Structure 1
Amino acid sequence: MSDYGHTLTFGSFLTPGNADPLRPVTFAMLSEQVGLDLVTFQDHPYQPAFLDTWTLLSFVAARTERVRLAANVTNLPLRPPAVLARSVASLDLLSGGRTELGLGAGAFWDAIEAMGGRRLSPGEGVRALEEAIEIIRQIWDADARGGVRVDGEFHRAVGAKRGPAPAHDLGIWLGAYKPRMLALTGRRADGWLPSLAYLKPGDLAKGNAVIDDAATEAGRSPADVRRLLNINGRFTPAGRGPLDGPAEQWAEELADLALTEGISTFILASDDPDDLRRFAAEVAPATRELVASERSSPPANATGPGGTTSGPSGAGADARTTAGPAGPTGPADAPTGPARSAASATGPTGSGRATSTRRAGVGATPFAVVPTPDDGVRRSQVRVWDESDRPTGPARDPQRSYTPHEQAGGQHLIDVHDGLRAELAQIHDLIEQVAAGLIDVGTARSHINTMTMRQNKWTLGTYCESYCRVVTTHHTLEDRSLFPHLRRADPRLAPVIDRLEQEHHAIHDVLEGVDRALVAFVATPDGMAELRAAVDLLSDTLLSHLSYEERELVEPLARLGVH
């Protein structure tokens, strides 16, 4: 078991296609909006169908605020290391410390050679990569005396001035598969990132062993090397194979990879916005919950000094919790794009790893989850419904107490809604940008169409699916749904549920009105007035609805749970 105790992070691995240049930018922005930690792009400078990756990363850095950025991975044979070092440090400074460096020794040598690069054997590629790492680190060491001095077999920088230093302790992540590259990763790198589809069963364990031995021999701790992994798969209602099933299956398999193979960063190779949303909203939090639960449980039959039970093996503090991603390279001539199949690389894992922690009365306290109140502000004169005739559910029992797990269930609904409130603010911002001429209406429509609300993620039915996958990771949703359970568990809630369903349909119509207004804006001289009116009506209806839903269901979700 190789759990290095690193904090879990999750990212996206996107295709930098240039047919629609803003498409990868939109997906990068979506990755940040849904809560992913990292955005990575392939780097194939010889590919005419792709945008230049470092130019794209700079553009994305200017359009995002939080998410970390990296090439997946940088094609070293076509990126001179001294120039690359300054490019990476510059982007890190401009982005506020959000850049990481993924490096690969190279692949597709015919294409590299056609672009002016030097063809290298596998052994030469490893030696060239080690020389490049030394040049890059010396460039970044701006406070050291003297110039850079690396007179290598493949790369030479003798007397080059140092600097600039990156804004943060920037990580170098290597895509490695063969023993020499793995040993280099252990000696000199900050992270290892292969692609799962290029691995055979047992390769992760073997790779970890080589890296750990090389790190130890170099006087480093194996935990100094973060383990990252490019993954791909399909979300389906029922499990059909590894990473081919519902979100809770993904979470269990990734948790197993974290706890047994030491993987702490999972990067999803997908250009499907729905996949990115589910990965962020359902898989990531469920995986974190499973790993945290396992790490907090002492190993069976393990005792520490004086006979006390010891803590989890290897779960030390992460020395580089702010480190971001890099991307993978394939073995020798393997492609470095998104992995196509995980079936050959891993098997069924993790089922039954964690158990339900909801036990009545254990650590119970009074209900402390506070629904978001309706502030009463209305922007529009139109009223989609009469708020005064909304039914209310049963009064809360003041004598009842709730476990932390139960209260987390109620809080989850508020957290989901807070994301939707943030998206609504972004819609208003987009409209103002259209009005100011900063973006065109087509771009605004594209952003709105990729938002969570547009995909009906705000509906309670879909929330139920998310809730079930995240909070009760060991139960499937087959033949189960939240509404029937709540009606059956507490029939007094039926009028509230009926009203919520009606409001969901009404809000969908209002969203369609926003879309129609955006279309009309192109052809109507005074289209901005209609557009603002449509967005104002959306604000009134959605914010009112979210507050009502929280008021009526936060406590029942905690009290009744999801069965």
Structure 2
Amino acid sequence: MDLGHDLRFGAFLPPVAEQADAVLALSGLVEDLGLDVLAFQDHPYQPGFLDTWTLLSFLAARTHRVTLAPVVANVPLRPPAVLARSAASLDVLSHGRVELGLGAGYFLDAMASMGAPRRSALENVEALDEAIRVVRSLWEPGPPVTFEGRHYRLDGARPGPVAPHRIGIWVGSYKRRMLELTGRLADGWVPSSAYASPDELVGMTRRLDAAAVDAGRDPADVRRIYVVQGSFGRGSGFLKGPPRAWAEQLAGLALELGTSTFVVGPGQDTAGDLQRFAEEVAPAVREIVAAERGREEAPPAAQEGASDAVAVTAAHEAQRMVEEEEPVSAVGRAGQQTLVAVHAHLRQELAQLRDVVRQVAEGRRSAASARSHLNQLSMRQNYWTLGSFCAAYCRAVSVHHAIEDARMFPDVLAADASLQPVVDKLSADHEAIAGVLVDVDDALVAMIRDEDRLDAASAAVERLADVLLTHLDYEEEQLLGPIGRLSIQV
């Protein structure tokens, strides 16, 4: 079943110490090609590998756009409280470009040689469950945290630092207990084709989805990431053949199993394979999936209210603008698609916020159900109030604008100074929207304390919708073309 997630593509590179220069060069190529994710395995007991966190930190300073992730971090050798601080710190330093893959650990003797406790398979699953809870508790702003588990504990640990975006926790899992844990707790699932073929993913997906439902979650809350390997050229079988054959197989996984992120491992010609994956496979997968999604009826979320329909229409219009541009480089196309995806996400979340507030104002939804609904949105920060959700959404908008001011706008002007009036207007919009965001946050917090303030909160949200949607439309109209033409990274 297609979960409707945006499609992302990336590379999974071996962190071989003796080939450090080649690792850095390939990582730079991943960024230049416009791929979305750069991932590395984490085996601290492997003396021939670079330490994964050191490598990710080094690359965060050398890249500007690509998402960085350990796939997956070895939790038995990385205390979860320290791992939480490491991931949040790197997210701060990289301006929101970190996702955290976690694993229970498989090579028990090797881990024990480095001082990891010897645990049974069941104990490893229990320990990972506790580790996820520890990590999340230290990411959530609030009072000192106490946690008493069988394997990990916190005794008044203070949360922080606050990451600029909600870091996703991706879990590598294959067997029943781990799949059930993933469905209960994770933001992403990371199997590998080396250990799970596409046919085997079917049963695993069913078990994961059932666990999510049993935990009261929507299975769509768990992004599906697949680490794949293959070869271009003649052949048959999974990912053995020309780029079009790859695209059809990966698109099938997206439409049938909900897999939305494909991370390719090294082949015989790693640089050449990465280029073909980025420039031929990824665009073709997007094209196939977009065509199939276009044949389906509008999703239920788009039918709940007029504002949702507007959000979906605007996103489709922005995508159409990208698709109708004259041919551009892979970097320019990736820049266009990234901006469209971010804007679509902001529109959809805003639409749902408007609808929920409107339903509360009209008496069609209770405050309690509104809080529950808002915590299902993908930008949720595990807060339990409408006002705190808006704080998270408002922060997401602010971070997006700050990144544009600091990175995208200077790159645009360096490439084409004639766009100065457009950039000036967009920058002025950012300042105006920042003031409206403050008003919205204050109004919703006041509404939580006093339901008689609901009208003021509704008015504030509508003011935000007016200025933000106008701004997003103008930015896409004025900058999507130059971003593609000038090969701007977003």
TM-score by length of 2: 0.62
| Equivalent residue, structure 2, for 1:240 | 236
| Equivalent residue, structure 2, for 1:429 | none
CA-CA distance at 1:170 after TM superposition: 0.5
Distance 1:234 1:160 in 2: 48
Structure 2: unaligned runs, 5 residues or longer: 305-319, 334-484, 486-490
| Equivalent residue, structure 1, for 2:326 | 411
Deviations 1:493-551 (A, max 9, x none): xxxxxxxxxxxxxxxxxxxxxxxxxxxxxxxxxxxxxxxxxxxxxxxxxxxxxxxxx9x
Partner SS, residue 99 of structure 1? coil
| Equivalent residue, structure 1, for 2:346 | none
Partner SS, residue 278 of structure 2? helix
**Percent identity of the aligned residues?**
52
| Equivalent residue, structure 2, for 1:205 | 202
Deviations 1:229-265 (A, max 9, x none): 00000010x3432201000000000000100011000
User: Where does 1:397-546 land on structure 2 (aligned, <5 Å)?
Assistant: 411-412=326-327, 414-415=328-329
CA-CA distance at 1:44 after TM superposition: 0.6
1:235 maps to a residue whose letter is F
Deviations 1:108-165 (A, max 9, x none): 11110000001222111110000001110111112x22x2222111111222121112
Indicate yes or no: 2:216 matched with 1:222: no
Decide whether aligned partners of structure 1 residues 162 and 247 sit closer, same or farther in structure 2, where only a CA change above 3 A counts. Answer: same
Preserved contact between residue 126 and residue 180 of structure 1 (Cα < 8 Å)? yes
Indicate yes or no: 2:77 matched with 1:78: yes
Preserved contact between residue 71 and residue 101 of structure 2 (Cα < 8 Å)? yes
1:130 maps to a residue whose letter is D
Decide whether aligned partners of structure 1 residues 418 and 167 sit closer, same or farther in structure 2, where only a CA change above 3 A counts. Answer: closer
CA-CA distance at 1:35 after TM superposition: 0.9
CA-CA distance at 1:315 after TM superposition: 10
Partner SS, residue 96 of structure 2? coil
CA-CA distance at 1:408 after TM superposition: 5.9
Decide whether aligned partners of structure 1 residues 161 and 18 sit closer, same or farther in structure 2, where only a CA change above 3 A counts. Answer: same
| Equivalent residue, structure 2, for 1:521 | none
Distance 2:66 2:303 in 1: 25
Partner SS, residue 411 of structure 1? coil
Deviations 1:281-325 (A, max 9, x none): 000000000000001113xxxxxxxxxxx34799999xxxxxxxx
| Equivalent residue, structure 2, for 1:281 | 279
The size of the alignment, in residue pairs, is 317
Preserved contact between residue 73 and residue 103 of structure 2 (Cα < 8 Å)? yes
Higher relative contact order (CA 8 A, sep 6+): 1
Preserved contact between residue 40 and residue 70 of structure 1 (Cα < 8 Å)? yes
Preserved contact between residue 5 and residue 316 of structure 1 (Cα < 8 Å)? no
Decide whether aligned partners of structure 1 residues 83 and 410 sit closer, same or farther in structure 2, where only a CA change above 3 A counts. Answer: closer
CA-CA distance at 1:187 after TM superposition: 0.9
Partner SS, residue 260 of structure 2? strand
2:219 maps to a residue whose letter is P
Deviations 1:371-404 (A, max 9, x none): xxxxxxxxxxxxxxxxxxxxxxxxxxxxxxxxx9
CA-CA distance at 1:67 after TM superposition: 0.2
Preserved contact between residue 6 and residue 315 of structure 1 (Cα < 8 Å)? no
Preserved contact between residue 137 and residue 159 of structure 2 (Cα < 8 Å)? yes
Preserved contact between residue 131 and residue 150 of structure 1 (Cα < 8 Å)? no
1:292 aligned residue (290, 293, 296): 290
CA-CA distance at 1:197 after TM superposition: 2.2
Distance 2:59 2:9 in 1: 18
Distance 1:119 1:314 in 2: 47
| Equivalent residue, structure 2, for 1:366 | none
Decide whether aligned partners of structure 1 residues 68 and 315 sit closer, same or farther in structure 2, where only a CA change above 3 A counts. Answer: farther
2:326 maps to a residue whose letter is Q
Preserved contact between residue 295 and residue 312 of structure 1 (Cα < 8 Å)? no
| Equivalent residue, structure 1, for 2:88 | 89
| Equivalent residue, structure 1, for 2:189 | 192
User: Where does 1:345-424 land on structure 2 (aligned, <5 Å)?
Assistant: 411-412=326-327, 414-415=328-329
Preserved contact between residue 232 and residue 243 of structure 1 (Cα < 8 Å)? yes
Structure 1: unaligned runs, 5 residues or longer: 299-309, 318-403, 420-549, 551-563
1:254 aligned residue (240, 250, 253): 250
Distance 1:119 1:418 in 2: 50
Indicate yes or no: 2:64 matched with 1:150: no
Preserved contact between residue 36 and residue 67 of structure 1 (Cα < 8 Å)? yes
| Equivalent residue, structure 2, for 1:264 | 260
Decide whether aligned partners of structure 1 residues 41 and 182 sit closer, same or farther in structure 2, where only a CA change above 3 A counts. Answer: same
Distance 2:301 2:190 in 1: 20
1:263 maps to a residue whose letter is T
2:166 aligned residue (158, 164, 169): 169
Partner SS, residue 198 of structure 1? coil
Decide whether aligned partners of structure 1 residues 418 and 105 sit closer, same or farther in structure 2, where only a CA change above 3 A counts. Answer: closer
2:37 maps to a residue whose letter is L
Partner SS, residue 123 of structure 1? helix
The structure in which a higher percent of residues are helix is 2
Distance 1:10 1:202 in 2: 21
1:115 maps to a residue whose letter is M
User: Where does 1:18-37 land on structure 2 (aligned, <5 Å)?
Assistant: 18-37=17-36
| Equivalent residue, structure 2, for 1:326 | none
Larger C-alpha radius of gyration, 1 or 2? 1
1:152 maps to a residue whose letter is G
User: Where does 1:31-180 land on structure 2 (aligned, <5 Å)?
Assistant: 31-142=30-141, 144-145=142-143, 147-180=144-177
1:153 maps to a residue whose letter is R
